[in-house]
């Protein structure tokens, strides 16, 4: 077993464990942190495949910007976990069916002799003048133009969904109406009440005589 194969199995194991923890974590902040770990290990796999540009973009864009933004958004939204967990057992059979179908598809792809993905034999060294960015651009805007455009549409839909979730109406949040604050008057909100003073002399508490209220001490 070569050093590249050892790194491949280590990164793959960490990636699988982190992916499972993303789904199974009860705390959304922990789920986001495990997702960051999954992205970092995915970048390591890209490096083994000699795709340095994709690995750097995955770390800088997703881990350095997107996931940090997700982390702050999750921390600020104060997600109600009890509301999210409602209907879990009702939707569990559908989730198991979808997961089984995806697992069967992945297994068929990995066991296909034409794909040759089961054994990791490494890649041959590329020439010095090879440019990953140029090859990636040629593939995206020629062969995979339609999937690339569909991915951009999905990202726009995700952004719209995030905005809709942020501005959704919640009943468990205290809201303040600025119009009611402007209408409030100090005379209706402040009330001055005069009380008799208490004087303590040698352990005996004596009440002072009541002082008659003056016109200025009336309710304001």
Q: Can you give the pLDDT at residue 24?
A: 83
Using alpha carbons, select from 40, 45, 57, 47 the residue that is nearest to residue 133. 57
Sequence-separated contacts (24+) of 169-173 with Cβ below 8 Å:
172/80
Residue 137 in tokens: 């651009």
Helix/strand/coil percentages in the chain, nearest 5:
65, 5, 30
Give domain limits for the chain.
127-169
The answer to whether residue 14 scores a pLDDT higher than 90 is yes
Chain mean pLDDT for the chain: 78
Distance CA 101, CA 107 (A): 10
The answer to whether residue 183 scores a pLDDT higher than 60 is yes
- What SS3 class is residue 200? strand
Give Dmax over CA atoms of the chain in angstroms.
103
Residue 175 has phi, psi (to 5 degrees) of -115, 150
Beta carbons of 195 and 211 less than 8 angstroms apart:
no
pLDDT tens digits for range 132-179: 888 888 888 888 899 889 999 999 998 898 888 777 666 666 777 788
**Of 122 and 127, more confident:** 127
């Amino acid at each position: 077993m070569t050093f590249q194969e050892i790194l491949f199995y280590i990164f793959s194991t960490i990636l699988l464990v982190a992916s499972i923890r993303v789904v199974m974590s009860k705390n959304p902040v922990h789920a986001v942190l495990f997702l960051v770990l999954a992205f970092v290990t995915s970048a390591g796999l890209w490096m083994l495949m000699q795709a340095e540009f994709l690995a750097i973009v995955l770390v800088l864009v997703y881990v350095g910007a997107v996931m940090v933004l997700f982390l702050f958004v999750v921390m600020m939204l104060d997600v109600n976990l009890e509301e999210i967990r409602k209907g879990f057992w009702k939707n569990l059979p559908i989730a198991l069916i979808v997961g089984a179908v995806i697992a069967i598809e992945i297994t068929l792809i990995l066991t296909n002799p034409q794909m040759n993905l089961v054994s990791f034999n490494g890649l041959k060294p590329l020439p010095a003048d090879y440019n990953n960015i140029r090859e990636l651009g040629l593939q995206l805007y020629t062969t995979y133009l339609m999937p690339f455009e569909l991915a951009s549409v999905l990202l726009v839909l995700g952004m719209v969904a995030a905005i809709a979730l942020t501005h959704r109406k919640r009943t468990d949040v205290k809201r303040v109406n600025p119009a009611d604050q402007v209408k409030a008057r100090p005379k209706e909100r402040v009330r001055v009440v005069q009380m008799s003073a208490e004087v303590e002399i040698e352990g005996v508490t004596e009440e002072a005589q009541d002082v008659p209220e003056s016109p200025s001490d009336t309710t304001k």
